[in-house]
A and B are shown apart, each in its own frame.
With several copies, the nearest count.
Chain A
Amino acid sequence: MDAKELIARRVAREIGPGMLVNLGIGLPSLVANYVPASLAVFFQAENGVIGLGARPPEGMEDPHLTDAGGGFVSAVPGAASIDSAMSFGLIRGGHLDMTVLGGLQVDEQGQLANWKVPGMMVPGMGGAMDLVIGAARVIVAMQHSARGEAKLVRECTLPLTARRRVNLVVTDLAVIEPTDAGLVLREHAPGVSVAEIVAATDARLIIGDDIQEMIVA
């Protein structure tokens, strides 16, 4: 299983029955593949649909039904169309149970930076700032390091997405929970040692006695 699949499968286990979940574009969108239909989860795409389904068969795509990345999707039974004001009203108003977002950095306070690398890459925050402010649970799904640089850092050097502490960070090496006390290492990926995780992390990690091996969906 490759790193992205591992992360997506682990995040999928965080999703409970009947939740309303928003998946960011890229890696987070893979999570949907590993959520069993029996959970009756509704996926929201912030561009305007609750009840996002799989990509339709070739030739049956519709240009008026896409996800937030512009990819063709379908609508499950019980889906609802919403405009952007309602979409972000749901997000900001606390009606979204969970969002899964990519990250550039997460720091010891659990703060996320994921929208700008000054002077290099300025895509814009899109819906990320509202999602981090508003979702009941925020899960960051990202590679543990990028080009040899740790992404779990003491303090974000990149512009923050929000001051809010995220709830969980899932990487290809570990599951980490930001808490009042700091970043707590909860799980290690199969075949990855705690020492390897610590070595790949700039932020200080609180290492408990009961670190489990990641169980994936």
Chain B
Amino acid sequence: MMKGALSPEAAAKLVPDGASVMIGGFMAVGTPERMIDALVAQGVRNLTVVSNDSAMPGRGVGKLVSAGAVSRMITSHIGLNPETQALMIDGSISVELVPQGTLVERIRAGGMGLGGVLTPTGLGTEVEEGKQVVEVDGERFLLEKPLKADFSLIAAWQADYVGNLSYLLTAHNFNPMMALAGRTVIAEPNAIVPVGVIPPDMVKTPGVLVDHLLVRANTGGQPWTQKN
């Protein structure tokens, strides 16, 4: 199904206060920055953010934190954002810390219809607290629950209007898994190319998973006008 591209402002309007949003990126590499800017401009509030980390002030998820848009985070690392740490300590943001490999598997499980993740990671640590332990052939594993969200906001390298996405180098990170686990998936590609241009073997997120694309950055959403 062909998908028209939205302006960041129009896409941000889809996201109401109080929504849960998965946001791709690793230290803001592979994060949909224009989408985040539009959410900040809109003044969205009370988001639950699922993301690998809270980046740093002024970049990626850090901009949402600074804007006071986030009330809860499910994340593996906030160490490079002193604002998140301060807001967590004063109680303005509640933070659930999850081991990185567990976090990405929980997202995958949510997106792929699995009941949870059985992992040895976190056994015998604070991460185990309150969780079910499942024994398989005498070995113990933590049962970590699947994660889904109202929205997944992801960054990609190329998109076509079917919604197919490719990713570049370390900008993959959480994006392909989050594309599976958001009820509405909004992708901010670096470029949009005609359908048929991305080779099938380069597509890492099939278009059926993507609901909306953000327009190209460099044309402000205006297609080139044919003059001749």
Contacts and interface: CB of A to CB of B under 8 A. Distances in A.
Whether A and B touch (Cβ < 8 Å) is answered with: yes
A163 B174 contact: no
B49 interface: no
Nearest to A131: B101
Contacts, number: 211
B170 A80 contact: no
A124 B76 contact: yes
| Candidate in A124, A125, A133 with the most chain B CB atoms within 10 angstroms | A124
| Candidate in B167, B171, B201 with the most chain A CB atoms within 10 angstroms | B171
Interface stretch (B14-22, B25-33, B130-138): B25-33
B111 A125 contact: no
B27 A70 contact: yes
Contact of B101 (A88, A95, A124): A88
Given A47-B27, A89-B113, A93-B113, A82 B172 contact: yes
Interface residues of B, number: 67
Interface string B121-142: 1111111000000000000000
A159 B125 CA distance: 7
Given A95-B208, A163-B123, A89 B88 contact: no
Nearest to B101: A88
Interface in A73-114: 75, 77-95
B169 A65 contact: yes
B124 A163 contact: yes
Nearest to A20: B208
Interface stretch (A48-56, A143-151, A168-176, A202-210): A48-56
B101 A130 contact: yes
Nearest to B3: A18
Contact of B180 (A93, A128, A163): A93
A128 B79 CA distance: 13
B149 to A, nearest CB: 14
B123 A84 contact: no
Contact of B172 (A17, A18, A48): A48
B218 to A, nearest CB: 16
A46 interface: yes
Given A92-B101, A127-B101, A163-B124, A134 B176 contact: no
A95 B207 CA distance: 11
B120 to A, nearest CB: 5
Interface of A: 17-18, 20, 40, 42, 45-51, 62-66, 68-70, 75, 77-95, 116, 121-130, 133-134, 159-163
